[in-house]
Amino acid sequence: MQSYKDLEIYKIAHGIALKIHKLSLRLPDFEKYEEASQIRRASKSISANIVEGFGRRRYKQDYIRFLVVAHSSCDETKEHLKYLFETGSFQDKKLFVDLDEDLTQLSKKISKFIEAVDR
């Protein structure tokens, strides 16, 4: 790997963060300063922690620590998405299902990647 940009988990995480950002801009006004901000930060944290961990890959435990944070941010993003959908603030069922599935797959891939780095 020459760059974090070569990592599949980074590519997926970055794409999800872009979708979440666009989705958050369409939320009702009362959500824009609380839940919208939270889900944007959580989704961007996934790729940001993958990037920062990659920069520290020489130190295995540091790398793993950042990947664990990325994994946690992935799960947090999934939870915020679920809140928005279940409260009716976000009503695009197809996009919800697609993002939920993407986050589930990303969570699995990050978990497997952590195991690979640990070996």
Q: Where are the domains of the chain?
A: 4-118
The DSSP element (H or E) to which 73 belongs, if any, is: helix 60-86
The answer for residues whose C-beta is within 8 angstroms of residue 30's C-beta and 6 or more apart is none
**CATH superfamily placement of domain 4-118:** 23S rRNA-intervening sequence (1.20.1440.60)
Instruction: Tell me the whole-structure pTM to 2 decimals.
Output: 0.94
pLDDT tens digits along 15-67? 999 999 999 999 999 998 899 999 999 999 999 999 999 999 999 999 999 99
Quote the DSSP letter at residue 119. Answer: -
Give the span between the Cα atoms of 106 and 39, in whole angstroms: 16
